[in-house]
């Protein structure tokens, strides 16, 4: 099983599969410590229940035990403070009547590597960083269309084609141009094949 992306979703899937002994390979285009923007800060109660199922809720709580947690409402980053909410620290959660777990404050730069470590500890999971899936090449391979990718760093090429990406047929016909890969690479491959 190939899983593309070692974010919370890919890693959770790997943990689910790995805990059943199903072999899977997770590929991630960036490095393991690349998550440096604090998204996914609040690990919800439901997510903590998943971690509990995997036997790692207590470890997650320990990992984030000393993180300070508060929320400020500001007019701008360096503006006036409008309101401030303080929360109990992670190490001192307030249980709710409906769940054995409490939510956790654990930003993505901590949480993703934590999930990765657990996924890797399951024998059947392999993680590869700096490894990118290439949807267009994959789509071409599925259709048996020969496709060669070339990095051309010539200003003339950019000037000529006016786009960062160009798909050229062997007869020189420019079949497609764009700045980003199309959302549906298979549709492009089929169009180039004239299907």
Q: Which of residues 100-139 bind ligand FAD (CB under 6 A)?
A: 132-133
From the list 40-48, 91-99, 118-126, 177-185, the region that binds ligand FAD by CB under 6 A is 40-48
- Per CB under 6 A, the list member of 31, 42, 96, 121 interacting with ligand FAD is 42
166 binds ligand FAD, rule: CB under 6 A: no
Could you give the CA distance from residue 16 to residue 56 in angstroms, rounded to a whole number?
13
Please name the residues in contact with 3: beta carbons below 8 A apart, sequence gap of 6 or more: 10, 13, 14, 24, 25, 26, 27
Q: Which is nearer to ligand FAD, 19 or 41 (CB)?
A: 41
Q: Which is nearer to ligand FAD, 104 or 122 (CB)?
A: 104
Could you give the CA distance from residue 150 to residue 139 in angstroms, rounded to a whole number?
17
Beta strands in 75-149 (DSSP E): 81-86, 104-105, 125-129
From the list 41-49, 82-90, 120-128, 186-194, the region that binds ligand FAD by CB under 6 A is 41-49
Q: Using CB under 6 A, count the residues that bind ligand FAD.
A: 18
Buried/exposed code over 100-137 (b: 16+ C-beta within 10 A; e: otherwise)? ebbbbbbbbbbbbbbbbebbbebebbebeeeeeeebbe
CB of 6 to ligand FAD, least distance (A): 6
CB of 34 to ligand FAD, least distance (A): 7
- Per CB under 6 A, the list member of 1, 23, 29, 95 interacting with ligand FAD is 29
86 binds ligand FAD, rule: CB under 6 A: no
CB of 29 to ligand FAD, least distance (A): 4
Q: Where are the alpha helices (DSSP H) in 1-107?
A: 8-18, 45-53, 57-63
Q: Of 179, 164, 169, which Cα lies nearest the Cα of 146?
A: 169
Applying CB under 6 A, which residues contact ligand FAD?
4-10, 27-30, 39-42, 44, 132-133
């Amino acid at each position: 099983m190939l899983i593309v992306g070692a974010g919370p979703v890919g890693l959770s899937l790997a943990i689910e599969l790995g805990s059943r002994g199903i072999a899977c390979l997770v590929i991630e285009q960036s490095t393991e410590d690349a998550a440096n923007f604090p998204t996914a800060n609040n690990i919800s109660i439901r997510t903590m229940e998943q971690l509990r199922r995997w036997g790692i809720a207590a470890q997650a709580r320990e990992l984030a035990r000393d993180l300070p947690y508060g929320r400020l409402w500001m007019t701008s980053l360096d503006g006036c403070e409008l309101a401030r909410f303080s929360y109990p620290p992670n190490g001192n959660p307030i249980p709710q009547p409906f769940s054995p777990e409490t939510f956790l404050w654990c930003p993505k730069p901590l949480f993703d590597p934590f999930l990765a470590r657990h996924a890797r500890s399951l024998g059947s999971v392999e993680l590869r960083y700096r490894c990118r899936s290439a949807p267009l090449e994959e789509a071409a391979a599925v259709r048996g269309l020969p496709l060669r990718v070339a990095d051309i760093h010539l200003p003339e090429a950019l000037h000529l084609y006016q786009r960062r990406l160009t798909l050229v047929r062997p007869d020189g016909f420019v079949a497609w141009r764009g700045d980003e890969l199309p959302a549906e690479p298979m549709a492009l491959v089929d169009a180039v094949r004239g299907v």
